[in-house]
A and B are shown apart, each in its own frame.
Chain A
Amino acid sequence: MKYTVRKFDAVIVGAGGAGLRAAIQLSEAGMKTAVLTKVFPTRSHTVAAQGGVAASLGNSDEDHWHWHMYDTVKGSDWLGDQDAIEFMVRNANECVIELEHYGMPFDRLDNGRIYQRPFGGHMSNFGEKPVRRSCAAADRTGHAMLHAMYQRNVKVNTQFFVEWQALDLIRDAEGEVLGVTAMDMETGEVVAFHAKATIFATGGAGRIYYSSTNAFINTGDGVGMAARAGIPLEDMEFWQFHPTGVAGAGVLITEGVRGEGGILRNSLGERFMERYAPNAKDLASRDIVSRAMVTEINEGRGCGPNKDFVLLDITHLDPETIMKRLPGIHEIAVQFAGVDCLKEPIPVVPTCHYQMGGIPTNYLGQVVVPQGDNHSTPVPGFFAAGECACASVHGANRLGTNSLLDLLVFGKSAGETAVNELKAGARTHKPLPAEAIERTLARLDRLNTQKDGADVHETRLAMQRTMQKHAGVFRFKDMLKEGVEKILAIEQDVGRTQINDKSMVFNTARIEALELDNLIEVAKATIVSANARTESRGAHVRDDAPNTTEHPNGRDDKNWHKHTLWYRENNRLDYKPVQMKPMTVDSIELKTRAY
């Protein structure tokens, strides 16, 4: 197979929120930048974010970034790195204001300022009472944001390669990153993008689970590529299950619904969250609400003929408010739940939503790996931001609206760091190692010539069912162990997938097979890391680590207050300490988490 080489100052993989934000930075600085994206930018999954983006603007209630920082650390169950968290929350206002300046159509308050609504886990005065911190454009914040950022990129003339599937990261013998190989989906042509800086903004991999709020495209491409290139993956055992996915369909219902006053009810009509989180109630953080819902269902208080969902009730709200603040939810309820939410409650279940872990980075957006004594040595030329990266600001559980903030702040900072390195002349076009590209071509060749292989759909389905069953909302020691074996067996099938369609033109069967190569890396990282972590923390809760006086909530800080690093090679695990020291303020000390 032949390939061509194209040279750029920087190549960005992914054109969702983080990729577009990084691209603005590079284009404005006049860098020759290629943005590769497998879907047209506005089709990236940021578009589906609903509720808002967190920033302590204080437009409705008194607010402070330090309170936001406290909430984020607490939400993370103290697994988030406090320097990165401080960086994120302190840059929140600036990044949101920038979006407004780009033209994002935020909802407005009577005084003309950006409308803010309450969201789970966001409190004032270090956990005292809910605060309105989520800046929203109705319930289409992600859509409004993604389009505003795409439009800004049109203004600054960013060069997009639309419908190009990135295949592999190119690293040389010293471990430096020199770009990516990618395929033009329309022609099947393979190109090596030779870059001085490579930024991954490829999003999450929610599609490793059977039931997910994620789009079909959320296949962890960047995470998989990084893993294949020998980069460890951090904290992959932590997956957020969003409390309110439409039962059956999986489509997301924003937490903003509860922010506007929506209530979760069980089959008895009881507002059960009062029992689990007496203070924050329905606005406790997502892991807690999801577990409460599953507990209600497991104890027989689920609704419907199979008692397998609970109800999200907004019928007591003013219909005008619903149509003004949550018009998209009304549409989703009608389309995917078949109910008019003005009159009937919506059936919901916890649904896989967000990957807290990812490619390890620092707050500058540089990808960092252990080297010698330093557990966070930057990989030259490699950056990552957004859901594919782990800065780590979300730790063991992400707060709602912190994801859009994450992609803004770290998309910008990764772009800025890359610009600084490029301007300083710190990076050159080092020669491309031929072997790295050969590996990609061999992988494509294997797929094209495979005979008597495994079916892509069946293999993916087996992986998704296994992950759903063995690494879901509640995790069980024996199930995890068994799950590891099952996933490793499925990995064998992934290595021999076969496609019938060999066309070079827009071959989506080939793309799905290549995506599965990435998904399986994420699935392995997740279940191996989860199996090893024998405590409960945030979204990772195990039966053999129950709530005891010695270990409240099952959390074992003595042994497990550390980040997991999973290496693809032999599924090796390593660990690194949590950064407890913020940039300027005092450390937020370990404490039992309660809402």
Chain B
Amino acid sequence: MTTANRTVQFKIYRYDPDRDAKPYMQDISVEIEVTDRKLLDAMVRLKVKDDSLSFRRSCREGVCGSDAMNINGKNGLACLTDMSSFPPGKPIVLRPLPGLPVIRDLVVDMTQFFKQYHSIKPYLVNNDPLPERERLQSPAEREELNGLYECILCACCSTACPSFWWNPDKFVGPAGLLAAYRFIADTRDQATSERLDNLEDPYRLFRCHSIMNCVDVCPKNLNPTKAIGKIKELMLQRAI
């Protein structure tokens, strides 16, 4: 491990509709310290150097999902990307998440992404009279939700999916489908049949062709493809 400060080169997608006629790639470098472990640390230094660079960030520990972007061609969270993971001597290329409209620089308009999330009715449906205490759920039943409920809605997966790029208004996308399965898998939820009906559609669910880009980029190591497979499995069970 080096102990000295070093200079890092960046190539960053820049676009401010207030000022720029069209987007361009900005070459910029910044000196980082040894303690700047993560890409986000370096970006905060970049922001000090050029305060017009816009990007979202909040928790800086990979749970809020704000700082998703396209890093050297692959979607990821800046706060979970190690500076040491970049090949030395080559500029780090940062672009906004692909497939969503750019508001400015690295900030994308996520309306469509959240619309799809909302479209799967992301809340527990249970019409039984409310018990006075908690509803019971065995540890094994609860375990079914592991790998599903941890999603941080960063949109790395959906914006890495060609089916979502092509039909963002019609294909729910990996994040939304993961959430859909999170409720289907919950023993407390009673709307399984409606949820399956809601997804039985050539676009909403069946535009997934299992190419697994979502699995490849998920910063929380979740597996939307597996969840989508389980939804299809349930539909099949229901149909035969």
Contacts and interface: CB of A to CB of B under 8 A. Distances in A.
Instruction: Give yes or no for direct A-B contact (beta carbon below 8 Å).
Output: yes
Interface of A: 39-40, 42-45, 47-48, 57, 97, 100-103, 105-114, 137, 140, 143-144, 147, 151-152, 154-155, 186, 215-217, 248-249, 251-252, 328, 331-332, 335-336, 338, 456-457, 499-501, 503-509, 512
A136 B41 CA distance: 31
Contacts of B138: 108, 110, 112
B149 A144 contact: yes
Contacts of B47: 457, 508-509
Contacts of B63: 47-48, 140, 143, 328
A457 B48 contact: yes
B59 A503 contact: no
Contacts of A251: 60-61
B197 interface: no
A508 B55 CA distance: 8
B61 A102 contact: no
Given A97-B132, A249-B37, 5 more contacts: A43-B64, A102-B124, A108-B138, A111-B136, A335-B61
Contacts of A505: 16-18, 103-104
A5 B149 CA distance: 39
Interface in B16-62: 16-19, 35, 37, 47-48, 51-52, 54-62
B134 A113 contact: yes
B212 interface: no
Nearest to A160: B114
The 3 closest A-B pairs by CB, nearest first: A103-B124, A112-B136, A501-B52
B130 A105 contact: no
Contacts of A47: 59, 63-64, 152
23 contacts: A39-B56, A43-B59, A45-B59, A47-B63, A48-B61, A103-B124, A103-B186, A105-B149, A105-B186, A106-B134, A106-B142, A137-B149, A154-B123, A216-B59, A249-B37, A331-B62, A500-B51, A501-B51, A503-B104, A504-B18, A505-B16, A505-B104, A509-B52
Chain B interface size band reads 35 or more
Nearest to B122: A151
A42 B142 contact: no
Interface in B122-158: 122-124, 126, 130, 132-139, 141-142, 145, 149-150, 152-153
Nearest to B142: A108
B8 interface: no
Contacts of A109: 139
A102 B58 contact: no
Interface in B209-231: none
Interface of B: 16-19, 35, 37, 47-48, 51-52, 54-66, 80, 103-105, 107, 110, 114, 118, 121-124, 126, 130, 132-139, 141-142, 145, 149-150, 152-153, 183, 186, 188-189
A217 B58 contact: yes
Nearest to B19: A503
Nearest to B16: A503
A503 B52 contact: yes
B103 A336 contact: no
B103 A186 contact: yes
Does more than half of chain B's interface fall in helix, strand or loop, or is it mixed?
loop
Nearest to B154: A43
A112 B54 contact: no
Contact of A215 (B19, B60, B118, B124): B60
B128 to A, nearest CB: 10
A117 to B, nearest CB: 14
A113 to B, nearest CB: 6
A573 to B, nearest CB: 33
B140 to A, nearest CB: 9
Nearest to B45: A457
A508 to B, nearest CB: 5
Contacts of A328: 63
A42 B186 contact: no
B64 A39 contact: yes
Contacts of B132: 97
B21 to A, nearest CB: 14
B103 A45 contact: no
A216 B55 CA distance: 12
B134 A100 contact: yes
A108 B140 CA distance: 9
A110 B61 CA distance: 32
A468 to B, nearest CB: 15
Contact of A103 (B48, B52, B150, B189): B189
Contact of B51 (A97, A114, A147, A456): A456
Given A215-B59, A505-B103, A155 B123 contact: yes
Nearest to B117: A154
Contacts of A57: 134
A151 B124 contact: yes
A189 B139 CA distance: 49
A110 B136 CA distance: 10
